Amino acid sequence: PLATLADPTLLKTAALIDGAWVDRGEHFAVTDPATGQVLAQVANLGAADAEAALAAAARAWPAWRAKTAKERASVLMKWYQLLLQHADDLARIMTAEQGKPLAEAKGEVGYGASFIEWFAEEAKRVYGETVPTTDNNKRYLVLKQAMGVCAAITPWNFPIAMITRKVAPALAAGCPVVIKPAEQTPLSALAVAELAQRAGMPAGVLNVLTADAERSIQIGNVLCASDTVRHLSFTGSTEVGRILMKQCAPTIKKLSLELGGNAPFIVFDDADLDSAVEGAMISKYRNAGQTCVCANRLYVQAGVYDAFVEKLAAKVKAIKVGNGFEAGVTQGPLIDEAALAKVESHVADALAKGAKLLTGGQRIGERFYSPTVLAQATGEMLCAREETFGPVAPVFRFETEAEVVALANDTEFGLASYFYSRDVGRIFRVGEALEYGMVGINTGLISTAEVPFGGVKQSGLGREGSHHGIDDYVEIKYLCLGDI
């Protein structure tokens, strides 16, 4: 699938350290999840390379920090434009290694690029403060300064966007970055890094450490333990987030964490039912259900329950499963065998506990799972408590607003939530009562570069995107000027 790139030089298999492409002769295979075919052998780096990348980033910091915000913004803008120019190739690389349908991959390139554009603009607006004095002999000033070398560990489900939304604010603020992309999707990361080089990113400002699962842990250890690293940003599972947080404790590192979710998707009796079904389709089945903001539990009020599940099942039957490169395919493979096994276990558990299968419920070949709707779901089922991360919609019945708000909040997670209602009072009540970082109301698609993305409770720390997104990468410094 990668033979037809318009610009084959975007296909990099070496890592990027200090502006040089590094390959020490050890490799790991990157495979196409749709076919199992090996796409490339990528440089398998280790702890010593992580130290070298951190040293390069530390050397690059003073000059990058000393550039004016406008100068940094201009490099970022160029990078942004290069991503858009090469969107077709980037999408092909992404579909090949991640599996999502080509149209979705292209959508992610645009979405990922938009964070670079946004933070290029925000670079110029990192304002400080002057504080009214309480002593006429003194003046109080507040500066926001680049924090220093930042590290980013990213997942495979959005191979480009999860990188740009960490790296762009860091670079905009004046911080160099060391990225450790997911072992499943390093090719997208490297292609994006190649474009950063072409945009004029100075050596050492942006480094990419590729590694297999085992070496990723070793590199993670170095990044967490290092005194050079002032900030670690991670998107991935809550379980790994906890490990990284613990590893960062000795150096009191600042952390941004985007972890797991267990998103409720609530449909009230007064909802526009067709719109709710449409929203559920987008929120649940996008990326084959492999996003941290995917609806995990659908709660539908008794009065519209039967009509909703019938309409939803009809739409779900129309999803076309297959290789993401094939025209018309709307759902690709799951990322790996472990992902398939988890989906199968959630469905088997639900059926054993009385769920009714309306459609789907089985593997297709080795690597695909049929989009599934389960009616009569209950709180005892695994899918009520754990993130399924696959194309399975369990639909629960509820009676009252108070009941469903309590059910929705009864989880340690708090990332995205959704509800459908046309009642303005209810919209405010429920919007305020949901213990989530994000609430989609009458929509299943909420994320864009201009707004703060992030979770509460065990879904994470910090916000990405929006004018808040740069806060994680600056330190606040207070200057007290006496003897006026």
Residues within the interface to ligand ADP (CB under 6 A): 153-155, 180, 182-183, 216-217, 220, 236-237, 240, 243
Q: In what helix (H) or strand (E) does residue 188 lie, and over which residues does it extend?
A: helix 186-198
Task: Provide the minimum distance between the beta carbon of 437 and ligand ADP in the complex, in angstroms, as a whole number.
Answer: 18
Q: In what helix (H) or strand (E) does residue 267 lie, and over which residues does it extend?
A: strand 263-267
Task: Provide the minimum distance between the beta carbon of 239 and ligand ADP in the complex, in angstroms, as a whole number.
Answer: 7
Token pair for residue 102? 């080509």
Q: Which is nearer to ligand ADP, 28 or 299 (CB)?
A: 28
Question: What is the Cα gyration radius of the chain?
Answer: 23
- Tell me, letter by letter, the H, E, C secondary structure of 398-440: ECCHHHHHHHHHCCCCCCEEEEECCCHHHHHHHHHHCCCCEEE
Task: Provide the minimum distance between the beta carbon of 232 and ligand ADP in the complex, in angstroms, as a whole number.
Answer: 10
Q: Which is nearer to ligand ADP, 183 or 278 (CB)?
A: 183
Q: Which is nearer to ligand ADP, 58 or 225 (CB)?
A: 225
The residue number with the shortest CB distance to ligand ADP is 220
DSSP state of 201: P
Q: Which is nearer to ligand ADP, 53 or 408 (CB)?
A: 53
CA angle 321/325/326 to nearest 5° reads: 55
Q: Give the pairing type, strands 229-235 and 149-153.
A: parallel
Task: Provide the minimum distance between the beta carbon of 44 and ligand ADP in the complex, in angstroms, as a whole number.
Answer: 12
Task: Provide the minimum distance between the beta carbon of 183 and ligand ADP in the complex, in angstroms, as a whole number.
Answer: 5
Best CA proximity match to 234, nearest among 275, 193, 270, 180: 180
Task: Provide the minimum distance between the beta carbon of 460 and ligand ADP in the complex, in angstroms, as a whole number.
Answer: 12
Q: Which is nearer to ligand ADP, 181 or 361 (CB)?
A: 181
Task: Determine which one of 108, 183, 194, 258 is catalytic.
Answer: 258
Task: Provide the minimum distance between the beta carbon of 254 and ligand ADP in the complex, in angstroms, as a whole number.
Answer: 17
Q: Which is nearer to ligand ADP, 43 or 240 (CB)?
A: 240
Q: Which is nearer to ligand ADP, 31 or 409 (CB)?
A: 31
What is the distance, to the nearest Å, from the Cα of residue 316 to the centroid of all Cα atoms in its chain? 25
The reply to whether 258 belongs to the active site is yes
How many CB atoms neighbour CB 177 within 10 A? 26
Token pair for residue 438? 């994000």
Which amino acid does the sequence have at 106? Answer: K
Q: Give the pairing type, strands 438-441 and 416-420.
A: parallel
Cα separation values, 121 from 10, 76, 105, 127, Å: 26, 9, 25, 13
Query: CA 190, CA 16: separation in Å to the nearest integer?
Result: 8
Q: Which residues pair with 439 in a beta bridge?
A: 417
What is the distance, to the nearest Å, from the Cα of residue 79 to the centroid of all Cα atoms in its chain? 20
Query: CA 433, CA 7: separation in Å to the nearest integer?
Result: 50
Task: Provide the minimum distance between the beta carbon of 71 and ligand ADP in the complex, in angstroms, as a whole number.
Answer: 31
Burial, 265: exposed, middle or buried (Cβ in 10 Å; 0-12, 13-18, 19+)? buried
Q: In what helix (H) or strand (E) does residue 368 lie, and over which residues does it extend?
A: strand 368-369
Q: Which is nearer to ligand ADP, 237 or 251 (CB)?
A: 237
Q: What residues are labeled active site?
A: 258
